[in-house]
Structure 1
Amino acid sequence: MMTNFEELQKLSKDNMDMALEAFGSMSKGMQAIAVEVADYQKKSFEEGSAAVEKLVASKSLDKAFETQSDYVKTAYEGFVGEVTKLGEMMTDMSKEAYKPYEGVMGKFSK
């Protein structure tokens, strides 16, 4: 009876350790993503402000359209790049959070 209790206690401790490790990985990943999003927002705001200043300073309608077109193209490319980067970060975070469970899942698949 005592060995069963000790085994159950060890299993509970191991499960808690795995859960805490996975939670730690998720927490680090979410912090990295939050920092990345904040940096992108700051950069995007600065680029938008510069584009508005350049647009206001345009002396002709053609120059204004060119400025706006350049900004839209740059903003779109930056957005697509950022979304791709965030997707990769989410994938990496998920892989890191799953690592503690790989050994356990391997036992069940045999």
Structure 2
Amino acid sequence: MAATFDDMQKIGKDNADAALKSFGTMTKGVQAIAVEVADYSKKSFEDGSATVEKLLGVKTLDKAVEIQAEAAKAAYEAFLSRATKIGELYADLFKDAYRPFEAATVKATAATK
């Protein structure tokens, strides 16, 4: 009976340790995502401001359309690039956050056999 209680206590400790490791990993991952989103927002705002400045100095409609088309293309490419990077950050976050639980599950399964 004592061995079973000790085993259960160890499993409980391992699970608590896994939860703490996972929480730390989640915190770091969410911070990285927040930094990436903030950087994208700042860059997007700067690019939009630069486009408005260019448009204010335009003399012809053709040039305005050209500037707007270039800005739209650049914004789309920047969005795709950042969206891909943020998606990768989310995938890494969940993989890394699950890893401590995976190890604890393997240990718990081995202890019960």
Give the TM-score of the pair, scaled to structure 2: 0.88
RMSD: 1.9
Sequence identity (%):
56
Unaligned runs of 5+ in 2: none
Partner of residue 33, structure 1: 33
In 2, Cα distance between equivalents of 1:64 and 1:74: 15
Letter in 2 for 1:97: A
C-alpha distance in 2 between matches for 1:87 and 1:102: 22
Aligned to 1:103, what secondary structure does the other structure show?
A: helix
In structure 1, the residue matched to 2:45 is: 45
How many Å separate the matches in 1 of 2:82 and 2:106? Answer: 35
**C-alpha deviation, 1:105, in angstroms:** 4.2
Match of 1:6 in 2: 6
- Secondary structure in 1 matching 2:87: helix
Q: Does the 8 A contact of 2:15 with 2:101 survive in 1?
A: no
- The separation in 1 between residues aligned to 2:74 and 2:32, in whole angstroms, is 24
**Structure 2 match to 1:91:** 91
CA separation in 2, counterparts of 1:11 and 1:101?
11
- Separation (CA, whole Å) in 1 of partners of 2:9 and 2:77: 54
- The residue type equivalent to 1:30 in the other structure is V
Distance 2:54 2:93 in 1: 39
Q: TM-score, normalised by structure 1?
A: 0.90
Query: Aligned to 1:6, what secondary structure does the other structure show?
Result: helix
Deviation of the 1:106 alpha carbon: 4.3
Q: How many residues align?
A: 110
Q: Report how far residue 36 of structure 1 moved.
A: 0.5
The alignment partner of 1:58 has SS state of coil
